Amino acid sequence: MIIIHNYHVIIDTNGIEKCVSCESELRCPVCGERLFCRDWKMRWYRDVDGRKHVLWIRRMKCGICDRLHNELPDFIIPYKQHVSFTIEKAVEENLLGKELLSAYIPDVKTVKRWRIWIDENILKLNSNIEKICKKISIYKNILL
């Protein structure tokens, strides 16, 4: 998975949403080689109101290691059906039981699964953040 932050969503004449990266060149997260667009695939997601949408995302292929990487916009969390805002709101507010009556939040069991998923992955996320900070500080030292 490649999470992109600089993108735009194009809606064609049939009403189909396509996510296109604004970056001219994407690199493979495994080997660092340039990625090429192989094809497109459908990705379902639910917006903040719970409505289903179809978004066509690019599948990128590495010329060296032959791995495929999906290019996801930052509002979609990999392997999750709801947009990131919905998941963040539900977990941050720590809502329980009858408090989950808002339109953008799914049922209680789903929110509990999200909390468990976040708790299990918090150490992994923190270590990735530390690695990124170290890389940024190394690049700053090189540039100065």
Tokens 């808002």 sit at which residue? 102
pLDDT in tens, 81-112: 888 888 888 777 765 544 544 556 677 788 88
Is the whole-model pTM more than 0.85? no
pLDDT in tens, 53-89: 888 999 999 989 999 999 999 899 888 888 888 888 8
**Is residue 54 classed as helix, strand or coil in its secondary structure?**
strand
> Alpha-carbon distance 89 to 82, whole Å?
11
Tokens 């990735």 sit at which residue? 128
